[in-house]
């Protein structure tokens, strides 16, 4: 009976989400309904619900999660600073003689935006509004233009300081402790946000390099798809002007990421530095005002409220799921799969990929990872490597037609004459690159574990 109820809990939540109900209230509401049904039938112990207030207090007092609203503020402020627009124009003119220069410029600016804001949706929408009209005006193939923007926008999933990585580090740290306690280690180790940032840095940069290599090869072999940018009188941009534009965001990235990796600041303290730097950059671009600050605070509060409501709903959902013994069923299923560790990991990654079509990264991180994470980590999988693999896997899911979130974001701001099929065609090569990156990480886990070991272990 309990097994059927735990399965029905997931099924009912999925149906409600597909019907369009708000995520946070769906998770909490479905969980409460199933808890009441279980209490009525005698298959659920109501004592599990008594742990919910302490769970909520734990979310409120979690120092790592305090960084989320501050990083959101930093991202929204940078979005309003118009810095990306100026950078794109300057890079496009400087690289106009390079085959596919505009496409490469979009990828570079998208990388900087991803590293500065860490918010996938904001980056895709911003780059879509700024660069898509420019690329189409310069006769870029719609599929190439849209594919490049979607791929550049999703880099915010993997390039630190990513909000995805902050939330993932918090969940994986708890899962890692549970796995160690289960194995009899009563002095469990943890993983920090800094370790996951360090683990994701090298794979993220390799991914950017592979994207740019593909665009360069495409421009070389099919120049008609990515023609050179037309030169207009007075559009010349000097290297000095470009360096001045780049100095602000680069300094911001170094200050935020560097302070976390070196241990000089916690993620929350580094986020505060980033938020202050974002306001200074907005002021430098003459985009900072009381009205701007009010709009940014309002938008940041809305996004943060959504994130934390989802966390609370997911916390109640996982409590009820555990109350039905769902975590034990999942553990039994994964442990008994053929192929051992590799088979369990393959199934989990496939499930996460499919869930990425219908759930946002927050729901996946706080509903699914706490269930499967302890099982995989108890099998001896490195938590940093697992975190990077999950982040890139979800990034691939968000790019994959027909349900990828990034595709929906871009479809919302793209001109009506851009066919949805063109967006789908454009992302296929980048999906192949993502899968290649997952393959490289599987063959060489050191791509994700080497830098954290150097920084935090001195090895």
- Output the pLDDT for position 231: 61
Long-range contacts of 187-191, Cβ-Cβ distance < 8 Å, separation of 24 or more: 191/383, 191/384, 191/387
- Output the pLDDT for position 199: 93
Residue 441, number of CB atoms within 10 A of its CB: 22
DSSP 181-241: HHTT-SS-----HHHHHHHHHHHHHHHHHHHHHHHHHHHHH-GGGSPPPPP-TT----HHH
Q: Are 323 and 35 in contact (CB under 8 A)?
A: yes
pLDDT band at residue 459, thresholds of 50, 70 and 90? very low
- Give the DSSP letter of residue 266: -
What sign for the dihedral angle of Cα 230, 232, 235, 239?
A: positive
Instruction: From 342, 375, 356, select the one nearest 157 (Cα to Cα).
Output: 356
- Output the pLDDT for position 234: 53
Could you read off the pLDDT of 34-62 as tens digits, one per residue? 889 888 888 888 888 888 888 888 878 87
Q: Are 106 and 308 in contact (CB under 8 A)?
A: no
Burial of 451 (0-12, 13-18, 19+ CB in 10 A): buried
pLDDT band at residue 457, thresholds of 50, 70 and 90? confident
Could you read off the pLDDT of 153-205 as tens digits, one per residue? 888 788 887 778 888 888 898 888 888 887 777 777 888 888 999 999 999 99
Most trustworthy range by pLDDT among 186-195, 211-220, 256-265 = 211-220
Backbone φ and ψ for 397, nearest 5 degrees, come out as -60, -40
Most trustworthy range by pLDDT among 10-19, 173-182, 278-287, 380-389 = 380-389
| Type and span of the H or E element at 351 | helix 340-355
DSSP helix/strand/coil, 84: helix
For the chain, the C-alpha Rg in angstroms (whole number) is 23
């Amino acid at each position: 009976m309990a097994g059927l109820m735990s399965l029905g809990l997931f099924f009912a939540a999925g149906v409600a989400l597909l019907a369009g109900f708000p995520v946070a209230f769906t998770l909490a509401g479905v969980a409460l309904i199933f808890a009441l049904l279980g209490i009525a039938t005698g298959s659920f112990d109501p004592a599990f619900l008594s742990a919910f207030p302490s769970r909520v207090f734990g979310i409120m007092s979690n120092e790592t999660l305090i960084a989320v609203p501050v990083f959101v503020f930093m991202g929204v402020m940078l979005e309003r600073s118009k810095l990306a627009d100026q950078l794109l124009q300057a890079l496009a003119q400087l690289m106009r003689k390079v085959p596919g220069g505009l496409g490469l410029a979009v990828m570079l600016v998208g990388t900087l935006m991803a590293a500065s804001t860490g918010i996938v949706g904001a980056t895709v929408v911003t780059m879509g509004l700024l660069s898509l009209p420019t690329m189409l005006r310069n006769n870029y193939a719609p599929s190439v233009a849209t594919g490049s923007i979607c791929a550049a926008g999703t880099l915010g999933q993997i390039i630190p300081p990513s909000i995805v990585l902050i939330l993932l580090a918090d969940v994986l740290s708890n899962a890692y402790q549970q796995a160690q306690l289960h194995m009899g280690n009563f002095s469990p180790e943890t993983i920090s946000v800094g370790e996951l940032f360090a683990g994701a840095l090298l794979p993220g940069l390799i991914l950017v390099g592979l994207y740019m290599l593909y665009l360069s090869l495409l421009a070389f072999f099919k120049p008609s798809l990515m023609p050179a940018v037309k030169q207009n009188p007075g559009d010349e941009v000097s290297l000095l002007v470009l360096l001045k534009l780049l100095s602000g965001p680069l300094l911001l990235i170094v200050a935020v990421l560097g302070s976390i990796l070196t241990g000089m600041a916690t993620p929350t303290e580094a986020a505060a530095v980033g938020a202050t730097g974002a306001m200074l950059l907005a002021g430098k671009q003459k985009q900072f005002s009381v009205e701007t600050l009010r709009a940014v605070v309002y938008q940041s509060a809305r996004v943060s409220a959504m994130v934390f409501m989802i966390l609370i709903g997911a916390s109640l959902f996982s409590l009820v799921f555990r109350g039905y013994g769902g975590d034990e069923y999942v553990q039994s299923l994964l442990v008994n799969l053929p192929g051992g560790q590799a088979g369990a990991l393959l199934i989990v990654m496939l499930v996460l990929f499919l869930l990425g079509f219908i759930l946002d990264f927050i729901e996946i991180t706080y509903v699914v990872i706490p269930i499967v994470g302890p099982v995989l980590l108890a099998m001896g999988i490195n938590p940093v490597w697992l975190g990077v693999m999950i982040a890139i896997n979800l990034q691939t899911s968000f790019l994959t037609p027909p349900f990828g979130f990034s595709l929906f974001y871009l479809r919302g701001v793209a001109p009506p004459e851009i066919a949805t099929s063109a967006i789908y065609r454009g992302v296929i090569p980048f999906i192949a690159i993502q899968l290649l990156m997952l393959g490289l990480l599987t063959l060489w886990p050191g791509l994700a574990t080497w830098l954290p070991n150097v920084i935090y272990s001195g090895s």
